[in-house]
Amino acid sequence: MRQYRQQCAIIVLFMGCLLINGCASRIVRDGAPAQSPDVSSIPDAVPRAEPRSRYGNPEFYDVLGKRYYVLAGSRGYVESGIASWYGTKFNGQRTSSGETYDMNAMTAAHKTLPLPTYVEVTNLGNRKTIVVKVNDRGPFHENRIIDLSYAAAIKLGIAAHGTGLVEVRAIDPAHYAGSNKQAPAEPVTKAADNSLRFFIQVGAFAELMKAENLRDRLAVLGSGLVNISKAVVSGKTLYRVRIGPLGSIEYADQIVTKLGGIGIDEHQIIID
């Protein structure tokens, strides 16, 4: 019986490793290859209908103490936030979908989109748009929404800096043509020091008092940094609690770390 339990534990551990692959370990230092690829010869991924992967699509999974729920579908998915990339440390390793990670292919990792899903990723700073295949899980950094392959990051213009503000839009292969891409969002407003300006939204309430209570709780972040904006969504008034505008992704990361310290883990990047 003891030997049987040990065997079961090994199997469970192995399956968990297959699910998250090296994604969770991407918090460890990664790097670029000695010689960058010529991305002009690397075409975007071509969206096509594919069955869901046998791997990497559980109802939910846990990484680093947090639970993630895999979406039932990708139709209508659009989100803005911060993108990162991963490279040599994981090149040639198995992805969560079972495919092999190729840092010179147009692929990406996402925490909740079904595997595979094809998405358009637009750099909101320079308006460049690429198409990648999501075939992996991650990134598990607390303030990132997508992890691009190294080649994809180069094509999008974020490889040198390591991160960038992006819009991620799921593609329906049955109704997609490369010449009919969705128009990307307007460029992000520039601050006086030429850095990107955006907000961290930590809540949206129908009642003003609840928004004010959260704003008061966030006073520890600094005077004037937290604000409440009023918006009408589907005919209903919402009071949105936002931090910013922020001038850099690095500063946003610092803010998110402080939010975690006071027990606030749910937030999203907002670009107006």
Distances (CA, A) of 263 to 214, 255, 266: 12, 13, 9
Can you name the residues that pair with 231 across neighbouring β-strands?
238
Closest to 111 in 3D by CA, of 156, 150, 81 = 81
* pLDDT score of 2: 38
Can you name the residues that pair with 61 across neighbouring β-strands?
68
User: 14-28, 106-120, 174-188, 207-221 — which is least confidently predicted?
Assistant: 14-28
**Contact residues for 224 (Cβ-Cβ < 8 A; gap 6+):** none
Check if the beta carbon of residue 96 is closer than 8 Å to that of residue 55: yes
**CATH dotted code for 26-180:** 2.40.40.10
* pLDDT score of 178: 66
Task: Report the run of H or E that residue 226 belongs to, with start and end.
Answer: strand 226-233
Domain assignments of the chain as residue spans, ordered by start: 26-180, 198-270
Give domain 198-270's CATH number out of 3.30.70.1070, 3.40.50.1820, 2.60.120.560, 3.30.360.10: 3.30.70.1070
Radius of gyration in angstroms for the set of CA atoms belonging to the chain, rounded to a whole number: 20
Q: How far apart are CA 236 and CA 216, in angstroms?
A: 24
Check if the beta carbon of residue 238 is closer than 8 Å to that of residue 231: yes
Q: How far apart are CA 92 and CA 96, in angstroms?
A: 13
Q: What is the pLDDT of residues 207-229, one digit of tens each?
A: 999 999 999 999 988 878 999 99
Helix (H/G/I), strand (E/B), else coil: 217: helix
Closest to 270 in 3D by CA, of 246, 234, 250, 254 = 246
Extract the tokens encoding 16: 């968990």
Q: How far apart are CA 232 and CA 212, in angstroms?
A: 18
Kindly indicate the confidence band of residue 176, based on its pLDDT and cuts at 50, 70 and 90.
Answer: confident
Q: What is the pLDDT of residues 136-170, one digit of tens each?
A: 999 998 899 999 999 999 999 999 999 999 999 99
